[in-house]
């Protein structure tokens, strides 16, 4: 996981779980990277 303080993934089915709706500024880059590499395009980031 690229942003473990913000995103998690359920082990049983792989579904992404949002842990933090408004991540800290220091987490923004890792959240964007997670969205970019998500094979299912399940993560979107809005400013």
Count the Cβ atoms, other than its own, within 10 Å of residue 22: 7
Please state the domain count of the chain: 1
How would residue 18 be classed by pLDDT, with cut points 50, 70 and 90? very high
pLDDT at residue 44 is higher than 80: yes
- Mean confidence (pLDDT) of the chain: 93
* Entry pTM: 0.83
> Which helix (H) or strand (E) element contains residue 8?
strand 7-9
Residue 36 tokens read as 């970019």
pLDDT at 1 over 80: no
Per the structure, the complete domain to which residue 42 belongs is given by: 1-47
């Amino acid at each position: 996981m690229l942003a473990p303080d913000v995103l998690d993934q359920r082990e049983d089915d792989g579904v992404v779980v949002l842990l933090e709706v408004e991540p800290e500024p220091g987490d923004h880059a890792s959240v964007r990277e997670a969205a970019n590499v998500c094979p299912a395009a399940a993560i979107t980031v809005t400013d």
